[in-house]
Amino acid sequence: MELRRVSDVLWEIPRQGGMRVPGRVFAGGELLVKAKEDRAVDQVAGVAHLPGIRTASMAMPDIHWGYGFPIGGVAATEVDAGGVVSPGGVGFDICCGVRLLASRYTAADFEGRREEVMLELGRRIPRGLGKGAIVSGIRLGDVLERGAAAVLEAGYGWDSDLERCEERGTSAGARPGLVSDKALQRGAGQLGSLGAGNHFLEVQVVERVEDPDAAAAFGLAPGMVVVMIHCGSRGLGHQTCQDQLRVMGPAMSRHGITVPDRQLACVPVRSPEGERYLGAMAAASNFAWANRHVLAHAAREAFAAAFGTAPERTGMRLVYDVAHNLAKLEHHVVDGTDTLVCVHRKGATRAFGPGHPDLAPDLRPHGQPVLVPGSMGTASWVLRGVNGNPAFASAAHGAGRLMSRTAAKRVETGHAVREELETAGISVRPHSVGLLAEEAPYAYKDVDEVVSVCDRAGLAAPVARLRPLGVVKG
Amino acid sequence: MPGTWRLFSHTADTGIEARGATLGEVAAAAVEGLVGSMFGHPPGTPTGASMEAAVPGGEPGEVLVELLAEVLFRFEVDDVVPFEPSVETDDEGAMHLHAVAVPSSGLEVVGPPVKAVTYHELSVEHRPDGWHARVIFDV
């Protein structure tokens, strides 16, 4: 696949064959080499076949191979010109995302109560295989309708949380009736659980602030202990995507659409099937917002128990909660015209710039917080959206995998990885030690390089670098 | 009786390739592969209730995805996984799974839980040397 250099951090795949637009890969150096090696670049070209796609099929610096869409893929289709919605452009883990909490504690405070904090988190955060969830007895239909607002009313979290959530923690247009019985059964025992794989809850410290004004507005300060949570819609979302993909193939044929990969199955946004997908997706998203909201509540209770205080005295205010697997209808200027597009972000994060009306007033002057977790044991970052973003207001979502799980397990054992992390001062509470090697730092790309490319490419600007102190994993 | 299966590398997720003399054998091997990607084999002869699952006929790849998705559903909701699988098929390509449902709680974990069965690079085809299937799982 030919790549033409536009700049050190932007490479273009020229239109060819059935591509309706070019491909654009925001990457450079080693990140670009790896993207070419695992064929993720080929997938960028495949996405460019989607009907109604505008400007380019894009990929963020943490791009790697996915299903149909690459992980780190961004594609915007023009809604009123036959543009399509593709469940593969959202992913099975609908509304997977990241939540970040501030606190009143310093690293020294944490060191004094490290064992207690990790013990309390280990007790209160369900994770890994099998059932186990914080919330039971709540009407699931209400959660699917209203997301974080539903669990807030049930007594989880704080009122102030919602203004610091993307979509205020409620995806509009949710149609809970489109979520299948199977999805409901899977989700029934999972509200308030991390899951497994690359999902985690991590205690971190703000190691370095690059943008003091934005950091202060976000609620961050140098040396502050923070808590980052990465998870999504669990089995309910996975089943919803599976259910929608099943019908999407035949529906696509009825609309006369063909795509180079079955996982790129799609239908026009303005079609009964497209509207049903978006309604089901919004309902599953609401489960994810509620899930992270409940886990944050549990994290506050854990710190309170460890420090012998009340949750409301921990200072654990919400910095932000962002999704990185979602399709959203947004207005963007395309070729000089305000255009309604369906922006698919598959392993990519929304990154609205300063002044955007959807941002809370205290965030609006600085832009939207963008949360970029690194791999276990390495740094994570807080960025901010910037104006003039060339990718439909999108930025990276993480470090991106470098090697397969099988290959990662051949490098070291889970016990060795745990030992190395503990030696580096990072407490680890895994559900399964044996699987830790799959999530080891060496299995992921360099998150600092990902962030550097985001900055140089005008996708998002760095605000603060976070260093891990302890991790709870599935 | 199932055929054979093996894991293959995928950057972020797990893939299996399965082979069998018949469509039923390759489907049973794929079921073994799904389970084997997550759990070790229990010691001795697997014991548990009978597990049955049926999927209507259609294009073989689509039917296999549905069968594997049903196995995944039973795992998440009922905490059981199938061992000693066998799959019957008919002229329309319907698949009927028979297996022993073993509780997952006592099994050795060897891989991350599978979230979903994807259609990505899905292939179920008959070749001169038998049936071949390739399926990628989202983990």
SS (H, E, C) B100-128: EEEEHHHCCECCCCCCEECCCCCEEEEEC
- 3-class DSSP state of A128: coil
Contact state of B109 with A186 under an 8 Å Cβ cutoff: no
Nearest by CB to residue B77, choosing from A64, A186, A249, is: A186
Res B38 pLDDT > 80: yes
Q: Do B111 and A407 touch (CB under 8 A)?
A: no
Interface contact B12-A235, CB threshold 8 A: no
Distance from CA of B103 to the nearest CA of A (A): 10
pTM of the prediction?
Answer: 0.95
pLDDT reported for residue A130: 63
A404 neighbourhood in chain B, CB within 8 Å: 9-12
Name the more confident of A409 and A275.
A275
- Using the predicted structure, report yes or no on whether residue B111 has a pLDDT greater than 90: no
User: Using alpha carbons only, how large is chain A's radius of gyration in Å?
Assistant: 21
Tell me whether residues B120 and A186 touch, CB distance under 8 A: no
To the query of whether residue A397 is one of the catalytic residues in this protein, the response is yes
Contacts of A238 in chain B (CB under 8 A): 115-116, 138
Q: Distance from A435 to chain B by nearest Cα, in Å?
A: 6
CA torsion, ordered A340, A276, A182, A246, to nearest 10 deg: -90
For residues A368-383, give the mean pLDDT: 93
The predicted pLDDT at position A38 comes to: 76
Q: Residue B6's CB: how many other CB atoms inside 10 A?
A: 12
Q: How confident is the model at residue A406 (pLDDT cuts 50, 70, 90)?
A: confident
Residue B67 CA: distances (Å) to CA of A68, A237, B34, B57, B85? 22, 19, 11, 11, 12
pLDDT at A284 over 80: yes
Q: Check whether A401 has a pLDDT greater than 80.
A: no
Q: Does residue A247 or residue A279 have the better pLDDT?
A: A279
Q: Residues A414-424: what's their mean pLDDT?
A: 87
Q: How far is CA A355 from the centre of its chain?
A: 23
Q: Do A405 and B139 touch (CB under 8 A)?
A: yes
Spatial distance between the Cα atoms of A318 and A296, rounded to a whole number of angstroms: 9
Residue-wise pLDDT tens digits, A348-366: 999 999 999 999 999 999 9
Model confidence at B44, pLDDT cuts 50, 70, 90, reads confident
Question: Which DSSP category does B59 fall into?
Answer: -
pLDDT(A442) > 80: no
- Count how many pairs of residues, chain A against chain B, have C-beta atoms within 8 Å: 100
For the stretch A89-130, pLDDT in tens is: 999 999 999 999 999 999 999 999 999 999 999 999 999 876
Q: Which residues of B touch A197 (CB under 8 A)?
A: 112-113, 115, 139
Q: Are strands A57-64 and A23-25 parallel, antiparallel or unpaired?
A: parallel
Asked if the model's pLDDT at residue A82 lies above 70, the reply is yes
Q: Is B102 on the interface with A (CB under 8 A)?
A: no
Could you write out the DSSP letters of every residue in A135-197?
--SS-HHHHHHHTHHHHHHTT-S-GGGGGGBGGGG--TT--GGGS-HHHHHHHHT-SS---ST
Point out the residue among B104, B117, B139 whose CB comes nearest to the CB of A197.
B139
Contact B118 A263 (CB under 8 A): yes
Please list every residue in chain B whose beta carbon sits closer than 8 Å to the beta carbon of residue A239: 73, 116
Mean pLDDT of B56-73: 96
What tokens does A78 get?
A: 């023009």
The alpha-carbon gap from B16 to the nearest alpha carbon of chain A, in Å, equals 12
pLDDT at residue B1 is higher than 60: no
Beta carbons of A67 and B115 less than 8 Å apart: no
Rg from Cα positions in chain B: 14
A202-255 pLDDT tens trace: 999 999 999 999 999 999 999 999 999 999 999 999 999 999 998 998 899 999
Find the range with the poorest average confidence among A38-52, A180-194, B109-123.
Answer: B109-123
Overall average pLDDT of the A264-290 stretch: 97
Asked if the model's pLDDT at residue A402 lies above 80, the reply is no
In A, minimum Cα distance to B68 occurs at: A242
Nearest to A95 by CA among A242, A285, A294, A279: A285
Q: What is the reported pLDDT for A33?
A: 81
* B111 to A405: CB separation less than 8 angstroms, yes or no: yes
* B9 → closest Cβ in A128, A130, A407: A407
Q: Which residues of B touch A405 (CB under 8 A)?
A: 13-14, 111-112, 139
Residues B35-43 have a mean pLDDT of: 91
Tell me which residue of A387, A391, A370, A392 sits closest to A451, measured CA to CA.
A370
Chain-chain contact of A65 with B9 (C-beta, under 8 angstroms): no
Best residue in A67, A243, A264, A411 for a mutation probing chain B (most B CBs within 10 Å)? A67
Q: Which residues of A touch B38 (CB under 8 A)?
A: 129
Percent of chain A topping pLDDT 70: 100
Judged by a CB distance cut-off of 8 A, whether residue B139 touches chain A is: yes
Please compute the mean of the pLDDT values over residues A366-387 and round it to a whole number: 94
Average pLDDT score over chain A: 94
Candidates A49, A297, A324, A397; catalytic one: A397
Q: What is the pLDDT of residue A237?
A: 97
- pLDDT category, A131, cuts 50, 70, 90? low
Q: Average pLDDT, stretch B94-123?
A: 92
B10 touches chain A (CB under 8 A): yes
Residues of A with CB below 8 A from B13's CB? 67, 405
- Asked if A344 and A75 touch (Cβ cutoff 8 Å), the reply is yes
> What is the distance in angstroms between the Cα of B3 and the nearest Cα belonging to chain A?
22
Using the predicted structure, report yes or no on whether residue A433 has a pLDDT greater than 90.
no
Out of A186, A189, A262, the one facing B122 most closely (by C-beta) is A262
Most confidently predicted of A62-66, A412-416, B44-48, B82-86: B82-86
pLDDT at B11: 67
Return the pLDDT at A235: 94
pLDDT tens profile A453-473 = 999 999 999 999 999 999 998
ipTM of the complex: 0.93
What pLDDT is recorded for position A2?
85
Q: How far from A293 is each of A131, A157, A353, CA to CA, in Å?
A: 19, 7, 25
